[in-house]
Amino acid sequence: MRLAEFLLGLGRSDEAYAHWMRAARLVEQRHLSDRESFRIRALFLHDVWAYAEAAKVIADWAADFPNDYLPYFYLASCQKHLGRPDDALDSLNIAYSKAPGNPHVLLNRAQLHLEQGRPRPAKADLDSVHELNPWRSQYAAEYHFVMGEYEAAWNCFDRLANAAPEWRSKSFSLKACLLFECGQDQSAMRLLRAGIAYDSARERLAPN
């Protein structure tokens, strides 16, 4: 299952879904009823966009494991995709109450606040995450952009560029978007071309 999540994060969706299907068959064969069983089924449904069905599995998960924050964490994502941001916020608040200080909950709640036009509570959640995390840098950049703090947003993109090769790749387009918004179209185009060159070089160096 974790291999499937990793492959999905790399954009290799066909391979990821093949691993998901193998995991799902294993669950059926063994009739598992533990947390891992719920998680496999819920995340598979979530990742094939069956959000309502995933939410039903997650509800059973939460009922069987009332002290576990993860069901509410994943439920929030389903609710957001189903167009229920207020319910998603409630679920993230419940998740946080069960796992205070959890950086994943804080970052997802910050993202939701930003999407719903609430930058100040988003900033409070971001300030509560003290570990180095590329997602924190991206959401912090979004906050600074919304607040008109473009230099601070650019600095966040610089931190992203140093996080890992895939984040460096993403940083080119994010910086270009910022430059476009600031009216620096030529500089933005140069960055996009640099990003294409970087990705092409990575592909050539990747093992076959």
Q: What is the pLDDT of residues 81-138, one digit of tens each?
A: 999 999 999 999 999 999 999 999 999 999 999 999 999 999 999 999 988 889 999 9
What mean pLDDT value characterizes the chain? 87
Residue with tokens 């950049």: 141
Residue 158's H or E segment, with its range, is helix 150-161
**CA–CA gap between residue 165 and residue 9 (Å, rounded):** 13
Virtual torsion, Cα 158, 169, 92, 23, nearest 10 deg: -150
Q: Which residues, 6 or more positions from 117, have their beta carbon under 8 angstroms from its beta carbon?
A: none
The letter for the amino acid at 181 is: E
17 band by pLDDT with thresholds 50, 70 and 90: low
> What's the pLDDT tens digit per position in 126-157?
999 988 889 999 999 999 999 999 999 999 99
Cα radius of gyration rounded to whole Å, the chain? 19
Q: Tell me the two tokens of residue 108.
A: 């997802």
pLDDT at 201 over 70: yes
pLDDT at 164: 83
Q: Which residues, 6 or more positions from 103, have their beta carbon under 8 angstroms from its beta carbon?
A: 129, 131, 133, 136
Evaluate if pTM is beyond 0.85: no
pLDDT at 28: 54
φ, ψ dihedrals at 12, nearest 5°? -95, 70
